[in-house]
Structure formats: structure tokens, C-alpha cells
A and B are shown apart, each in its own frame.
Chain A
Amino acid sequence: MAQDDHSGTELAAADSSHAEHDFAGSTGTAVIPHDAFENPGFEPHRPRVTDEDTGREKRAQRTVYTLFYLSILGSVWAIAAYMLFPIESNDVGAVRLNNMFIGLGATLALLGIGFGAVHWAKSLMTSDEAIDIRHPIGGSEATQQGAVEVFRVADEESGFSRRTVIRNSLIGALLVFPLPAVVLFRGLAPQDQIPVELLSHTMWAKGTRLTLDPSGAPIRAADVTIGSAFHVIPEGLVDLEHGRLEEKAKAAVLLMRLDPSELNQAPDRESWSYDGIVAYSKICTHVGCPVALYEQHTHHLLCPCHQSQFDVANHCEVIFGPAKRPLPQLPIAVDDEGYLIAQSDFTEPVGPSFWERH
């Protein structure tokens, strides 16, 4: 390989002065000129003012111990602040003072030590530099040979290379033994559930009333004036004993009323809305943030997480951002008492896309 690299005529074998600097190994495509400059060696040592002027030295000394005393003061202050600024009074202002004064005390305690120690090192400790000699990381030739020999003997004595059947069966066993541990991780989720089924259904069903988030009060169609946006959950969600957040994470809906003339509805979905009132899933089809930034004049719905934009007037199709699918629409109707109800569950899985979705 090395001979490939040295191609230019200006190159020559590294000269002697470099040879002793560069540790063993090919120089690759590095260019090493004949007449490179040589290291001039260390600059003359320059004394500091504190080395020459005892007055300055005394002052530096004073600064250092003053800083250390200030640090003690800071620690005492922090302890005092703990007692002097209690936070028992339900008062945010008290927490603010407690946090600030304990913090400032600790700051003084820490910075005092820090600035003191560094100042001591910089101005009073000897400023001479030490020189450490580097040795090749790989160690000497003899050491490397020694290590190789150890391995050779170990191999010889164990027969690791010779007894191939033993070796290979061991490798096989080592590969297989962690598998039971992997299987155990199935237990991270309930054994009796299949995610795809769960993702395909929500709490909405035929006749479920649309109710207000968070109170659970049912909503009359007449309540929803043009330009309104209602944050909706299915009836009964607030009373769920278990799985309330899981159901809400799928069933949250945004209810809006537009001027019916501004709604462009597909013929097969005309019956899904009621007099300009439409209900769409609030869960973004991108990665699942709640999409609820509704602009009543442009009819845009914006997701604050990744800026996907949906056009409510056109079945919430995507007009900007990384989402692909429109927000699923909840078909709604009005019951005998004038309350809004769902005609059925969503007709497709809500929320982010997943592999088995089609």
C-alpha cells in the first residue's frame, strides 16, 4: 500500500529528524519535504508580575483568600435563606424568593471557591510547564510479541483453534442463549390484546352524544353558532373508570360550524354533517398531536407540533406540512332532543399512520 502513496518526485523517505518524531507507520499520502523547518525549541520562560513584585504577590494572595471567605459567606447565606424564605404560604412569590436566595447563596459559595482556586493557580503557583514524553500507544515490539505469545500459548493449551466442533457448538450456544430473554419482553404489553384491533376502534358509536371537553355536557346543534369551535369528547368518557386517557387519545373531536355554502362536501359525505356543523378527529394523521388551531375565516386547521394544515371546508385535506391523510370525519346527526350525536364510529382508524393500516 505504502508504495502506492508516494508518487510525487518531490518526495523522499522521511529525513532523519522526522523519522524519530513520527511514530512507526506509513505516512500515507502525506507530503514530507526535505527542507522543512525544524522545531526551534521552547521559548524563554517569561516571569509573571507576581513572580517579580512582592506587592503584587501579596495582593494576589489577599484576593485568593478573600474569595474563599466569600464562598463561606455564600454557603452560610444559602442556609440562612432556607430558613428566612420559607414557602409554606401557598404563594408563588415565596417560592420565587426561596429559589432565588438559596440559589444565589450557592452560586457565591461555588464561584468563590472556583475563582479563588484558579486565581491561586494562575498567579501564585509556579508557572513552569512540565514535559511529558509520549510513547507509542501500541507499546514496544517486545511487549506486542509477548502479548501475541500469550494468546498463542492459550490457544495451544485450550485447543480453541484445533477442536473446531467444540468451538463452533459453543459459539452456537452463545448466540441462542439470549433469545429467551428477548421473548420475555412480549410481556411489556397485555398478552390478550392486538394493537391493530384497538387502533381501529374508538368510543364513538351510533347514537353517542357529542359532549363538551372537559365537563361532559351534551351539545345541542343550535348551540353551535357559525364560526364556533367546540372541543368534544364522547358521552360517557368522563365516567370511565379505566382507560380514560387511552380512549380520549383516539376519540377527541373538534366540532365546527361553517356557513353551509362554504362547505365543499363529497356527495357520499353530505349526510355526515348537519347544517354546516362538521366534526373531525382532533388527532393528527402525521404523528398524533392534537390539531386544534382552527381559523374561522380561512377554515384552516393547524397542528402546532409540525405545522400540518388541513382545510376544513374540503374534508380536512392536507394543504401544507408533513401529514398525508385528511383528518377522519365523524358522521354526525341530531337526536329527538336536538342534541348532536354520532351516526357511527369513525369509518377509518384515527391518528398517526401505522404499518397494518390500509
Chain B
Amino acid sequence: MSTATTRSTAPAKRSFTAGASEYLNDRTGIAVAIKGLGRKAFPDHWSFLLGEVALFSFIVVLVSGTFLTFFFQASMAEVHYDGSYVPLKGVEMSVAMASTLDISFDIRGGLFVRQMHHWAALLFVAAIGLHMLRVFFTGAFRKPREINWVFGFTLFILAMAEGFTGYSLPDDLLSGNGLRIIDGMVKGIPLIGTWTSFLIFGGEFPGTEIVGRLYTLHILLLPALVVALIAVHVGYVFIHKHTQFAGPGREPTNSVGPPILPIYAAKAGGFVFLIWGVIALIAALFTINPIWNYGPYDPSPVSAGTQPDWYIGFADGALRLIPPGWEFVWLDRTWSFNILVPLIGIGVFIVLVLIYPFIEAWIKGDKREHHIADRPRNAPTRTAIGAAGVTFYAGLWAAASSDILATHFSLTMEGVIHALQAVVIIGPFIAYFVTKRVCLALQKKDREIVLHGYESGRIVKLPGGEFIEVHQPLDEYERWRLVSFESYQPLMIRPNARGKITTGQRVRAWFSRWFFEDRIAPVTKGELESGHDGHH
């Protein structure tokens, strides 16, 4: 009896997970995917996790945002507030504002979710920014990843749009003045501006439509686009496999790192919770967007220190830096260059960032796939261009807080503005020059180390009476980290098959000279040997 029972239950004693996975696989064929992906390697470097920071904070935004939609009412109908916040009792405001106040003061945990949503949104955009900087400075946008750079950058723009639409929803004084600025900027666009503003606001500013329209964009259209693009963006990471830094055993043809199952999954899984935890901690302890201070939107009041959220700051700063008088009436029409110049300037900047991978590929003419990330110093011109771009952006961004800089550092706001005008115009050139020199110097140092080893600090007296410092030679693994990069040289103009030199060729040669005129090549075996002979 007992033996029979044992025998009959033996197959059923298989673990539950085995049974469940078999059940699932028989219906989904998921085994193929798991077998293919489960042991994939994910290269390990702290900066490779920045994109995940963005992804995981987006999940917080999505989940907390869904909770908020259950309580928020995107209506601009006027009501008298009768919630818990004493200094607004009886004040006339829109339903949108009142429902946001109710989320903050009358729903337990509502303020916590609201603060998580807003802090996570700020973190989302910031993480995208930092992730983009990492990709740029390591050249991870090179073939085959140019298109994914474009997707990623589009996500950055969409994230800003998500942020701005969300910032405007509570219909408070701060966001209302933000919309007022948008209205003014749109009106300044030639030909279509007046009508565009009229259509956006459903009539005259502020109208009674804008919150509802922004809400549709904020919770439907933009999130759908963001989710779809994230899927594509991450999908390409799987197809391309992640880049890796040069190192022993790392080849352009392999990808080395902890396997997805289990280590990477555990680390990334844990990382999800760590990011959520950091956001929760910040939301628990730090106020964000206290709309109860700002009060309902009214076109007459405004608060000192009215600024957009950080990611729109650069655009606001650009508006502030324009000197007086850049507006003309010509052909009986108003040309608002005080608005057009910032708009066009920012537009050009965005387009340049967007197409940078294609420009660099064209200059180099390099058609190979690149899976080894550059150390920033090994691409001095690119790194210097990046530093110039960062300086330009930072100058605009700082300009958005010109008044706060003035009060907190006891400066005049006029002085701050003039200084930042200089930073935005001259700063990028200085940053470019300094960065390029620093990169070249670091490359030279690397060469020195490869050729002569590290300085050991030990001084030895030679039999001849000469003092020398003993240099500690590198082991082959360390050496490989320092020599495994490629340098490029300026393009030589050659006539084409018909014996002509095309303009395109000349332009490319000019760019190529600019990029690669100053170049430092990696140490070769021959150099190392002759270097040793020469010195010791």
C-alpha cells in the first residue's frame, strides 16, 4: 500500500516551479526566449545602469500617476474650496486645483503619492540626461546604435513634454504663469503664432479648456508614445547587446559580464527597489511643488522666483538672456526676435544633438560596428564638443535661476544676466579648449605609463652615482586597458574617379582635420620595446 502510494506520487513530487514552468511553456513557448536570453551577459559598469534609473523611475511615475487619476479632476470649472487647508478656505479656484488640494490634504497618503509622482518625474528626466551624457562621452552612439540614440533623444524630449503638461495640471499660480509664458512665446511665432495660441487655449488665454487638453496629452498620448519608444529603445539594447569598456578578454566580438539569470536579474531587480526606495524616502521627507502656497491661478498675481521645473529651465533661461530691443515691426507685422532667437537657438541645439552620431560617422567614414565604449580621453575632440555643449546648456539653465543666484550670492541680477550671457557665448569655447587639452594630456600620461610604468616613489642610486626613480612596469592586463583604442587621422583630399574634388569632400576634410589634427596614438609593441631600449 505504502510503496504503491510512493510510486504513484513520485512524478508529482517534482518541484512546483518545474511544473508551473512546464505548464507555461507548453502554452507560450517561452522556453525559447529564456534559453536565448537567460544566460546573456550584461557588461558591468556603474554608468551602464543610468538608463535603468530612468526606466525604473518612469515605472514609479506610471504607477503613482494612475493612482492620482482616480482623484484628480481635469476641469477648470470654478468652485469654492472647502477642504482642509485653512488659508485657502472659501477661495474660488478651478476643480483641478481643488481636487489636487484634496489629494494633498484630505486623502491619506495622497500627498505621499503626489510627491512621489513629481519627484520621480524630476528624477526620470535627470536620469535620462545623465544617461545621454554617458552614451555621448563613451561614443556608445556609434554604429550600430545611431538610430537608438535618436529614439533615446526623442524620449528625452517626450519626457520633457510629459513633465511640462503634468506641471501645468493643478492650475495653480506657478503653473498658470508657466502657461502664460508658453502663450506669450507661441504668440511671438511669425505667421501662425496668434492663431496657434488661440487654438491651444480654446479661445483667449487662459480659457477653460487648457487643463483638460493637457490632461489628455499627459495621461494618454504622451505616455503611450513614451511606453512604445521605451519598448523599442530597450528592444534595441537586446538586439545590439550592451557596449563594454575595453579590458582583458573583452573583444569587439563578445560581450562579457554577469549572466542575466541569476546575477544581473537579482542586481537589476534589487536596483528597481532601491530606486523606488530612494524616491519614497525623498517623497516622505521633502516637499515638492507646494501648490497650497501658490494658490489658484489668477492672471494678476505672480510669485517672486517663478520658474519652470528644471528640465524646462534652459528654455526659460534662454528667454532671460536676450538683451533689450530685439523686436521689430517690419512689413506691418511684428517680428519678435526676443522669442524667435531662443526658440531657433534651442531648436538648432536639439537638432545638433540629435544628429551628432551621423555627423561623426560621416567625418570618420568608419563603417564598422563598434561595441567597445571609448574612454572619453581617447576621443578628445568629441569629449571637448560634449563639454562645450554641457557648458552652453548649463549657462542657459543657470540663467533660469538668475534672480535666485542674485539674492543668494548677493549679486545684482543685471550682473548675473550679463555674466551668463558671456558664459553661454564664450563659455563653450573655453570649455572646448580646456577639455581637449586635458584629454590630450591624459592620453600622454597613459602613454608614459605604458612605456615606463608607474612611478613607484622608490629612488635608487646607480653604481655611477646617478639617482633614478624605479618605475613599476604594468602587467599585461593593465596595459591592455590603456592601449586598446584606435585613433583616427585627418582625411587627405583625393580627387575622385573623375578627377574632381567635390565640395562635400572638402567640407569633410575640414571637419576631419578639426577632429583629428591633434591625435595621440596608442602605444604599439614596437614602441614599447624601443622605448625600453632607449631608457634603461
Contacts and interface: CB of A to CB of B under 8 A. Distances in A.
A and B in direct contact, judged by CB atoms within 8 A: yes
Interface of A: 1-5, 7-8, 20-37, 39-43, 82, 85-87, 90-92, 95, 98-104, 106-122, 125-127, 129-134, 136-137, 185-186, 188-190, 193, 195-196, 198-199, 213-214, 231, 233, 243, 245-246, 248-250, 252, 282-284, 286-290, 292-293, 304-308, 318-325, 351-358
Contacts of A101: 284
Interface string B501-536: 000010000001000100001111110000000000
B305 A304 contact: yes
14 contacts: A4-B496, A23-B253, A29-B364, A29-B366, A40-B480, A92-B86, A92-B105, A114-B271, A189-B198, A249-B299, A321-B324, A324-B327, A353-B336, A357-B329
Given A130-B40, A287-B185, A289-B177, A357 B334 contact: yes
Given A28-B364, A31-B487, A355-B333, A188 B280 contact: no
Nearest to A29: B488
A106 B284 contact: yes
Nearest to B188: A353
Given A26-B365, A320-B414, A324-B325, 5 more contacts: A4-B493, A39-B249, A129-B41, A186-B199, A352-B187
Contact of B199 (A85, A137, A185, A293): A185
Given A137-B369, A195-B198, A358-B334, A322 B322 contact: yes
A116 B270 contact: yes
Interface of B: 39-41, 44, 84-86, 104-106, 108-109, 111-112, 115, 143-144, 177, 180-181, 183-185, 187-195, 197-207, 209, 239-241, 248-259, 262-263, 266-267, 269-278, 280-281, 283-285, 297-306, 316, 319-327, 329, 332-334, 336, 338-339, 363-369, 371, 402-403, 413-414, 417, 476-477, 479-480, 483-484, 486-494, 496, 505, 512, 516, 521-526
Contact of B258 (A98, A109, A130, A325): A130
Nearest to A186: B199
Nearest to A195: B198
Nearest to A33: B524
Contacts of A284: 184
Nearest to B417: A307
B248 A39 contact: yes
B248 A41 contact: yes
Contacts of B183: 287-288, 352
A151 B489 CA distance: 40
A186 B493 CA distance: 54
Contacts of B201: 189
A114 B516 contact: no
A291 to B, nearest CB: 8
Contact of B486 (A32, A133, A193, A305): A32
Given A39-B484, A98-B108, A304-B403, A117 B281 contact: no
A28 B366 contact: yes
Contacts of B369: 23, 25, 134, 136-137
Nearest to B522: A36
Given A4-B492, A110-B273, A110-B276, A98 B111 contact: yes
A296 B273 CA distance: 55
A114 B266 CA distance: 9
B112 A99 contact: yes
Contact of B364 (A30, A34, A214, A356): A30
A123 to B, nearest CB: 11
Given A132-B41, A134-B241, A305-B177, A29 B334 contact: no
Contacts of B324: 308, 318-324
Given A353-B327, A357-B334, A305 B181 contact: yes
A252 B204 CA distance: 15
B180 A288 contact: yes
A30 to B, nearest CB: 5
Contact of A322 (B109, B326, B526): B326
A117 B252 contact: no
A58 B526 CA distance: 51
Nearest to B483: A37
Contacts of B193: 354-355
B439 to A, nearest CB: 17
A117 B268 CA distance: 9
Top 3 A-B residue pairs of the complex, sorted by shortest distance between their CB atoms: A103-B284, A287-B184, A117-B270
A189 B213 CA distance: 12
B225 to A, nearest CB: 18
Contacts of A113: 270, 273
Most buried by B among A114, A190, A198: A114
A316 to B, nearest CB: 13
Contacts of A100: 284-285
B111 A95 contact: yes
A233 B298 CA distance: 12
B184 A288 contact: yes
A5 B491 contact: yes
A107 B365 contact: no
A243 B76 CA distance: 12
A106 B86 CA distance: 29
A32 B476 CA distance: 20
Nearest to A20: B253
Contacts of B271: 114, 118
Contact of B298 (A43, A98, A245): A245
Nearest to B527: A35
A3 B249 CA distance: 32
Contacts of A288: 180-181, 183-184, 205
